[in-house]
Copies of this chain bind each other. A is one copy, B any other.
Amino acid sequence: MASEALQELIAGMRAGGPDFSADPVQARADFEALLATMPADPQVTFTAAQLAGVPTLEADTGKADAGALLYLHGGAYIAGSAAGYRGLAAEIGKVLGLPTHAIDYRLAPEAPFPAAVYDAVAAYRELLARGVPASRIVIAGDSAGGGLALATLVYLKQEGIDLPAAGYLLSPWADLSCSHPLIDAKSNADPALDKAGLIASAAHYLGDQDADHPLASPVNADLSGLPPLLVQVGSSEILLGDAVMVAERAGAAETHVRLEIYPEMLHVFQSFHFLLPEGRAALDGAGAFLKACMEGPNG
């Protein structure tokens, strides 16, 4: 049975939210207004900066020489911002003990695929250029940012660039064709996302590109040779199938995968770590798993 906090959260989401199937600029503004209501740890200091020309928000969540968390926010590739996700990004940096770099990759429709991938890759390479060891970097992202994190890992591997210690994908959107049967099966259960919004956003991001392109929908990429992946997803979201596909295909390709499915949880429930014990537990468990990856054979 859902906790009172979860029930209130769901009721609030059902009462209304940004419409990703309508005008993308309006959706972006509405989504940003929603994100502005999310708290961030007042103990954390955030600083505007940049990595290779990509705007970032840095958070002092770890010692400067400890490594780096590269965070890629959600928002269906058309919305969201490093500032809007600073609370979640900083919580992840805290459980990892790593300084946080949340990046403002370019958004569609103004900057369609592969602009976001290029920005994430450029930011990661800049971290390496500054002397951060790859084995002390974690790339994380939620929703579209989770798919983007996986696409970034695939791109880095293809280019022979040193890979980070791990990838952490929160409710990743990794198949822009939106074809998994659980999208329809979970449509009534999901208070946050709808298929029409995903399809419209995918069209903005893809432009003329095919939805099956492996760097747009990394479930279609060669997922061998990647660092360990932690995938967390709620059972009450239409992207459950995307998370399962990532786990199955990466695992079949000999990549170490842990998939965690949380009952009754909704899209990127870790954002509500301050309300939902499940969100807090998921972040703490992620910290333990990812720190072990940094201490692993490549750490």
Contact = CB atoms under 8 A, between A and B. Distances in A.
Interface of A: 182, 185-186, 233, 235-236, 240-241, 244, 247-248, 250-264
From A241, A258, A263, A264, residue with most partner B Cβ within 10 Å = A263
Contacts of A250: 261
A201 to B, nearest CB: 24
A264 B259 contact: no
Nearest to A253: B235
Contact of A251 (B235, B252, B255, B256): B235
Q: Top 6 nearest A-B pairs by Cβ distance?
A: A251-B261, A259-B259, A254-B263, A257-B261, A244-B248, A235-B254
Contacts of A254: 235-236, 263-264
A241 B247 CA distance: 11
Given A233-B251, A236-B254, A256-B262, 6 more contacts: A235-B254, A240-B252, A244-B248, A247-B261, A255-B263, A256-B263
Nearest to A234: B251
Contact of A257 (B186, B252, B257, B260): B260
A71 B116 CA distance: 49
Contact of A258 (B185, B235, B244, B258): B258
A124 to B, nearest CB: 23
18 contacts: A186-B252, A235-B251, A235-B254, A240-B248, A241-B248, A244-B247, A244-B251, A247-B247, A247-B259, A247-B261, A251-B261, A254-B263, A254-B264, A256-B262, A257-B261, A259-B259, A259-B260, A259-B261
A37 to B, nearest CB: 28
A112 B149 CA distance: 48
